[in-house]
Chains A and B, each alone.
Chain A
Amino acid sequence: MGYSSLDDLVNQISTNGKFGRIDYNKTTAVAGVAGTWTDLGTATGSVPASTYAGTSLTYVPTDDTWSEGAVWHGGNVSTATKHFLNAGASIFAAAGAPWILMCVDQVGYVPITGADVTGTGARTITMTALDSGARWPNGVGLRAYFSTEVAPTAGGPNLTAMTYTNQAGTAGKSIGVTVGFAATPVTGMVPHSGNAATRYAPFLPLAVGDYGIRDLEAFTLSTGTAYTGSGQLVLHLVKPLWSIPIPASGIYSERDFVNQLPSLPNIPDAACLKFLVFQTGATTSASPLIVSADYGWN
C-alpha cells in the first residue's frame, strides 16, 4: 500500500509503530583488491559468514529465513508494503577508501564447485524458472553476478557464454559479450570486476531490451586460462535496491530514501538482504564495516 503523504508516513511511524531497524556488521575476510567489488557474504560478523552450501550447478532459493546469512527485517507485512526510509554505513580501514556499498535482495544462488570451476565446457544450471508469484514477479529487475566463495589457485578464464530466460519468458537469451575473470580472485571478490578489459561490474550485462532474469540456464568458462585448485564460485541472482558512497574511513555516511526520487525502495516479503562493497584501493584485511537502516511499512 505504501504512504499516501508525508503526514501518513509520520503517522504510521509515530502513532502506529510500523517501523523497524536493521543492524549489520562484518569484518573483511581478506585483503581486498583495488577496483573490485566484494560480496560480503563470506565475511564474518552479524549476520554470520555464508558457505553457499548446495549441489554444484543447482539453484538454491533464499529468503529472510536463509540460515546462512539473511538480514532479519521484521517478517512479512503483506498486504502492506515495506520500504527503506534511510541507510548508513561506515568502514574503518587503513586502506581502501573510498568505497561504495550496495544493498541487494538475493533471490537465490548457484554453487559452483570442483570441475565446474576448473573445467572449460558448458555448464547447465538446474533451476525452476521464477513465475508471477515470485517476490520479484517473473524476475523483473533481477541481475546476476559471480563471486568467489573459495579462491581458485590460479587461472583467469573468460565467461564466453551465458544464457538465461528473460523477464518475458524468452529462453536462451545471451548476455552477448565475453566477460573476463580475474586470475586469482580473493575470497568474496566479484571476479568479473576490476581494472582490466572486458570486465563488467557489479552485474553481468543482459541482452538488449531485457530487464530481468526468470531463469539462469547455462554458462561457459573457457579460453584464457582455466582455474586450477579447489576453488568455489557462486552465481547470485539479485535485485539491486540501493547504493551509498562511503568517501572516507571511519566516517558514517547516510542516505535519506524519503527525499530521493524515486523514493522508498521496496523490501518485499521474505527479501534476503545482502551487501556488496566496491573498493577503490585494496581494503585492509579484518577491517570492520557497519550498516544500519530504518524501514517502515503501511
Chain B
Amino acid sequence: MPFRNLRQLTDATEGKTWISSYRKAVAATATVAGQWYDYSYAGGNPIANYYAASPLVSSVLEADKGIIVPSVPAGSKQFLHRWMAMSAAASATSTTNQNQQMYMLDYLLYYPFVDMDAAGEDQTMAQTQVLPRYTDGVGVQMMVVAQSGTVGGGRFTITYTDTTDTQRTTTSMFCGAAAAAGSLVNAVLATGGLTPFVPLAAGVRGVKSVQSVNFSVANGGLCCVVLVKPLVDSWIREEARRTTSGTIESFGDAMEVEIPRTRAGMVEIQNGAFLGILGRGAAGSLASSVLVGTVETVWG
C-alpha cells in the first residue's frame, strides 16, 4: 500500500528500502554538443544495452539488465526516494561533460534496427510485444536512439498509436549532424528539435505502439525507436576531475534528488522496470566520460 503521510514513509525506510549503484562509461567516439545520449547504451554496471532483437519487431528489456531495483509484492508500491549522479571527466582537462541535464526513464518497449538509409520506404513494425507497464500509454514517450554511427541530415516521420487507439503520424522531423551510437537521433541543437522525445500531436497524452517509420531523407546508419516513461529529471552542474599539473585543483558536483524533500509527489517505479538514464552534453562531447551514482527506492 502506498504512503498516506510522512510517518508511513519514514517507517518504511527502516527496512523496505533498496540502494543500487551504477557506473556507465561512454565510448570514446565523440558525441555532439547539445545532443542527448542514452546511457543504457554505455558499458559498465549495468551492462550495455544495444537493443539487440529482431529488426522492426517490438521487444522488451529485462529489468535486471537496467539499474537494479527489486520487485515488490502485490499490493505494495515502490517509489524513487533518492537519485544521485556524478560525471567523471574523460581526462584532467576535459570539461565537456559539465552542465549535463539528466532524465531517469523506465524503458518499456523498443523497435530495433530501423534502416536510416532506406529513404522513402515505410518500415513497418511487427507487434509481438505490447507495453508491459503503463499499458494505457499515458505519459509514454518515443525516443530514437542511434544503433550505429550516423551520417546526419536526414528527415523522418513516425506513425504511432496514441492513448485513444488513434493512429497518428508525426510531423516531418529533422535529424542532427553525424552522431555516435547511443546518441538520440532527433535531439540536437538544430532544426530537428530540442527535446529528447519525439514531439507528439497536440492533445496526445502518450503512445501505445509504433506502426512504422519513414525516412524521407536518408540519415545513414541504424536506429531504434524506444517507448519510455520519463520518471524524473535533474542536472549535473560540474564534471568531476582533478588537474595533474600546475596548481593541482579538484572539481566536481553531485546531482542529488530526494523525494519528497526536493521534489513534490512520489515517483512510482513499477515492477519489472528497466531503469536507465539520458544525459545531454550541453557543453560538448560526453565521450569517455563516466556517469556514476546511486538509486534508492522505498516501498510500502
| Nearest A residue to B88, CB-CB | A280
A141 neighbours in B (Cβ, 8 Å): 14-15, 17
Contact A249 B242 (CB under 8 A): yes
Decide yes or no whether B149 CB sits under 8 A from chain A. Answer: no
B68 neighbours in A (Cβ, 8 Å): 200, 205
Contact B252 A261 (CB under 8 A): no
Q: In the docked arrangement, what's the CA distance between A259 and B15, Å? A: 21
- The proximity string for B residues 226-257 relative to A, scoring 1 for CB distances below 8 Å and 0 otherwise, is 00000000000010111010000011111010
In the complex, how many angstroms separate the beta carbon of B237 from the nearest chain A beta carbon? 10
Contact B292 A177 (CB under 8 A): no
> Within the complex, which residue of A100, A199, A208, A245 is in contact with B45, where a contact is CB–CB below 8 Å?
A199
Contact B47 A197 (CB under 8 A): yes
| Nearest A residue to B290, CB-CB | A280
Q: In the docked arrangement, what's the CA distance between A43 and B229, Å? A: 43
A199 neighbours in B (Cβ, 8 Å): 45
Decide yes or no whether B10 CB sits under 8 A from chain A. Answer: yes
Decide yes or no whether A161 CB sits under 8 A from chain B. Answer: no
* CB-CB under 8 A for A261 and B86, given A199-B45, A202-B21, A211-B16: no
| Nearest B residue to A245, CB-CB | B254
Interface residues of chain A: helix, strand, loop or mixed (majority): loop
* CB-CB under 8 A for A97 and B250, given A177-B64, A245-B86: yes
Contact B88 A97 (CB under 8 A): yes
| Nearest B residue to A194, CB-CB | B45
A100 neighbours in B (Cβ, 8 Å): 21, 84, 292-294
Contact B47 A201 (CB under 8 A): no
A260 neighbours in B (Cβ, 8 Å): 258, 261
B138 neighbours in A (Cβ, 8 Å): none
Decide yes or no whether A196 CB sits under 8 A from chain B. Answer: yes
Decide yes or no whether A32 CB sits under 8 A from chain B. Answer: no
Known: A98-B86, A245-B254, A262-B9. 4 other contacts (CB 8 A): A97-B240, A98-B252, A195-B23, A248-B240
**Mind listing 27 A-B residue pairs with CB under 8 Å?**
A35-B44, A37-B21, A97-B242, A98-B240, A100-B292, A141-B15, A195-B43, A195-B45, A196-B45, A200-B68, A201-B21, A201-B45, A205-B68, A205-B70, A206-B70, A209-B72, A211-B16, A211-B17, A245-B86, A247-B251, A248-B242, A250-B242, A261-B258, A262-B13, A278-B292, A280-B86, A281-B88
